Amino acid sequence: MPIYSAPVQDIQFVLHDLLEADDSEIPGYEELSREFTAAVLGEAGKLATEVLAPLNTVGDKQGCRLENGTVHTPEGFGEAFEEIRQGGWNGLDLPEEFGGQGLPYLLGTAVGEIMVSANMALNMYQGLTHGAINTLLAHGSNDQKATYLPKMVSLEWTGTMNLTEPHCGTDLGLIRTKAEPRDDGSYAVTGQKIFISAGDHDMAQNVIHLVLAKAPGGGAGTKGISLFLVPKFMVNADGTLGPRNAVNVGKIEEKMGIHGNATCVMDYDGATGYLVGELHKGMRAMFTMMNEARLGVGLQGYAQAEAAWQNARTYARDRLQGRAATGAQNPDGPADPIIVHPDVRRMLLDQKSFVEGARAFTFWGAQLIDRANRKDDAEAEGMISLLTPVIKGFLTDKGFDSTVLAQQVFGGHGYIEEWGMSQFARDARIAMIYEGANGIQALDLVGRKLPQDGGRHMIVFFEMVKTFIKENETDGTLEADFLDPLKKASKDLQAAGMFFMETGMKDPDSALSGSYDFMQLFGHVCLGLMWARMAKAATEALAHGAGDAKFYRTKLATGRYYMARQLPATSMHLARIQSGAGPVMSLDAVSF
């Protein structure tokens, strides 16, 4: 069975050494002392190692089953969910008004990483609920908030998001689910939704569905869409549960992975729904919390990579095959551990340098969200809007690749299910698809986020990189290993942006043909920036004689690996972008 233990030291390094969370001017951050985060992360880690992770393969093997209209989750999931509930984990970063603890989203993100690494399928029941809560917080009426939020924050009830229909996912303007107004102010919701994660299960008393549907009088396309709250069980005025609503699980999908999470076809047959937010403004309501939702999926990408990597590292230290080219390292054994082989190290360091960079990038994003929400900081809001598609797209792509690499370290043992490495890859694969497929993230990045506010946020990003480089050029070691590669990568990114500006006016296909490579290029620059900053933090910690010198030296070596061996990808992406629309658009559809 795969192992997992929470990387508390590394998480704390990012929170405190890099992001200086305990020294931040963001309201709520004053709570984030090193002692406090150590305690919270330690508890989360204990739960993850002892309860959640052991159920990960159970969930994969058993999956969910639909019996008499109810979804049954794998053995042990119910008890584990109860522990999550009892621990108050769901409310960590939710308002105290509704039973939460009101702590920063940054801390919620750090805890989330641990939960997702341990058991992504189980965590999704909670994650979807979180998304639904945030949507209700932003758009629900006071009555709705009072009725639903306390139970959802406490996880007595869970939530879902219903967007996709069989014939449309990305293009939501095509949805057919209808909402007919009734005299009592409620709506009768009718239609079929598919791919509904955590659509039903046996771990909570009620499921609160947020459903996109078309009510009469809206325009065509996405303009006519409204958002409705449809409970599985009706809620009486006193808060107790009434009869079943007319919403049913049509079937559970068979999937490549995340078997422990029920992906449901939901049939609405005149189900009672309540309008959330304004009529015909459903798209806006659903996507308000998009930055957080997408950051959460980006997190899934690297959190699966973290779990897979921990196992690959252990295997590489234990498995004896062959001898080091430079002489036996384990002369008394029958062979050396495979970690002596350069190509095994390459695979391990690709994973390690990605995961640690991705963690920093994601936490930085979470801090920006806190800054935007808790300080009304428009600059932070703009920056996280720009970075969100990169966090989602780049980290899920590379996270998946990283799980595939971890599998590869195991050779044939990585392909059989016994060791659990296949599951990490199969589970991680979904993150590249849902919450907007990665190609859509690239489109969002290049088509909307880049030009947003006159391109201002991209300029701010470049300024930030430039300033960081300028401020630290006096440090010779930092300069050669970190700043020079970052400068080069950032220049590639600027050249790509310039290419879009020059050609995009005349031909939108030119920018769109390079959008995916731009997202990758941008992702590398972001991780390069994170690594340069982490290198600075590690260097300073070493200079101040910090406790665990080995940790900081390892951090520097890992960063050097990323800069030397991953960052050169930027020139390839730039070359692809600069090849323009010609190679992509020249064939007509029938010639493919």
**Beta carbon nearer to a second copy, 232 or 576:** 576
Q: Which of residues 120-179 bind a second copy (CB under 8 A)?
A: 164, 167-171, 174
CB nearer to a second copy: pick between 140 and 497? 497
Site for a second copy in 235-254 (CB under 8 A): 253-254
Instruction: Check binding of 190 to a second copy (CB under 8 A).
Output: no
Q: Is position 71 an interface residue for a second copy (rule: CB under 8 A)?
A: no
Beta pairing class for 247-252 and 263-276: antiparallel
Active-site residue, 83 included = no
Q: Is there binding between residue 349 and a second copy (CB under 8 A)? A: yes
Among 107, 344, 395, 530, binds a second copy (CB under 8 A): 344
Among 56, 248, 403, 438, binds a second copy (CB under 8 A): 438
| 182 or 317: CB nearest a second copy | 317
Q: Between residues 154 and 162, which has the closer beta carbon with respect to a second copy?
A: 162
Which helix (H) or strand (E) segment holds residue 162: the answer is strand 157-162
CB of 309 to a second copy, least distance (A): 9
Shortest Å distance, C-beta 275 to a second copy: 26
How far is residue 138's CA from residue 285's CA, in Å, rounded to a whole number?
Answer: 8
Among 281, 345, 374, 487, binds a second copy (CB under 8 A): 345
Give the β-pairing of 206-214 and 157-162.
Answer: parallel
Q: Which of 335, 460, 495, 542 binds a second copy (CB under 8 A)?
A: 335
- DSSP 8-state class, residue 590: G
CB of 162 to a second copy, least distance (A): 13
The span of 93-101, 113-121, 278-286, 566-574 binding a second copy (CB under 8 A) equals 566-574
Other CB atoms within a 10 A radius of the CB of residue 131 amount to 22
| Residue corresponding to tokens 């008393």 | 205
What φ, ψ does residue 369 adopt, rounded to 5°? Answer: -65, -45
3-state SS of 191-252 is EEEEEEECCCCCCCCEEEEEEEEECCCCCCHHHHEEEEEEECEEECCCCCEEEECCEEEEEE
Q: To which H or E segment does residue 159 belong?
A: strand 157-162
Tell me the window of 181-189, 210-218, 376-384, 555-563 that interacts with a second copy (CB under 8 A).
555-563
Of 434, 468, 499, 552, the one binding a second copy by CB under 8 A: 434
- CB nearer to a second copy: give 370 or 435: 435
Q: Is the sign of the CA dihedral 540, 542, 544, 547 positive or negative?
A: positive
Strands 178-181 and 187-197, sheet pairing:
antiparallel
Q: Min. distance of Cβ 335 from a second copy in angstroms?
A: 5
Contact by Cβ (8 Å): 153, 189: no
Cα(332)–Cα(323) distance, rounded to whole angstroms? 12
| Three-state SS at 170 | coil
5 binds a second copy (CB under 8 A): no
Q: Which one, of 578, 452, 458, 433, lies nearest residue 514 by Cα? A: 578
Half-sphere exposure of residue 389: CA atoms within 13 angstroms, side-chain side: 25
Of 100, 337, 393, 399, the one binding a second copy by CB under 8 A: 337
Q: Is 407 in the site for a second copy (CB under 8 A)?
A: yes
Q: Which stretch binds a second copy (CB under 8 A): 3-11, 51-59, 271-279, 321-329?
A: 321-329
Least distance to a second copy, CB of residue 591, Å: 5
**Is 538 a binder of a second copy (CB under 8 A)?**
no
- Chain-centroid distance of CA 366 in Å reads 11
Produce one character per residue of 314-339: b if its CB has 16 or more CB atoms within 10 Å, e if not: ebbeebeeeebeeeeeeeeeeebbbb
Under rule CB under 8 A, residue 334 binds a second copy: yes
Q: With binding defined as CB under 8 A, does residue 557 bind a second copy?
A: yes
Closest contact distance (angstroms) between CB of 321 and a second copy is 4
* DSSP 8-state code for residue 337: B
Which of 154, 115, 9, 117 is CA-nearest to residue 541?
Answer: 9
Residue 582 beta carbon to a second copy: minimum distance, rounded to whole angstroms: 8
# of chain residues touching a second copy (CB under 8 A): 94
Cα 263 from Cα 244, distance rounded (Å): 20
The conformation of residue 446, written as its DSSP 8-state character, comes to I
* Closer by beta carbon to a second copy, 347 or else 366: 347
- Closest distance between a second copy and the C-beta of residue 446, in Å? 10
Cβ-based burial of 216 (10 A; exposed 0-12, middle 13-18, buried ≥19):
exposed
Q: What distance in Å separates the CA atoms of residue 377 and residue 27, rounded to the nearest whole number?
A: 12
According to CB under 8 A, which one of 138, 320, 464, 505 is a site residue for a second copy? 320
Residue span binding a second copy (CB under 8 A) among the ranges 49-57, 135-143, 333-341, 386-394: 333-341
Segment 475-534, which members bind a second copy (CB under 8 A)? 508-509, 512-513, 515-516
581 touches a second copy (CB under 8 A)? yes
Using H for helix, E for strand and C for coil, what is the string for 52-68? HHHHHHHHHHHCCEEEC
Binder of a second copy out of 19, 26, 121, 432 (CB under 8 A): 432
Which of 188, 234, 433, 542 forms a contact with a second copy (CB under 8 A)?
433
Which range touches a second copy (CB under 8 A), out of 37-45, 50-58, 177-185, 319-327? 319-327
Q: β-strand 157-162 against 178-181: which pairing, if any?
A: unpaired
Q: One of 50, 435, 471, 473 is an active-site residue; which one?
A: 435
Closer residue to a second copy, CB minimum distance, 364 or 516: 516
Q: How far apart are CA 202 and CA 252, in angstroms?
A: 14
Question: For a second copy, which is the closer residue by CB, 543 or 589?
Answer: 589
Is residue 542 near a second copy by the rule CB under 8 A?
no
Nearer to a second copy among residue 137 and residue 335 (C-beta): 335
Q: Does 442 bind a second copy (CB under 8 A)?
A: yes
- The minimum distance between CB 317 and a second copy, in angstroms, equals 6
d(CA 398, CA 376): 32
* Selected range binding a second copy among 1-9, 120-128, 278-286, 563-571, rule: CB under 8 A: 563-571
Question: Among all residues, which ones are annotated catalytic?
Answer: 435
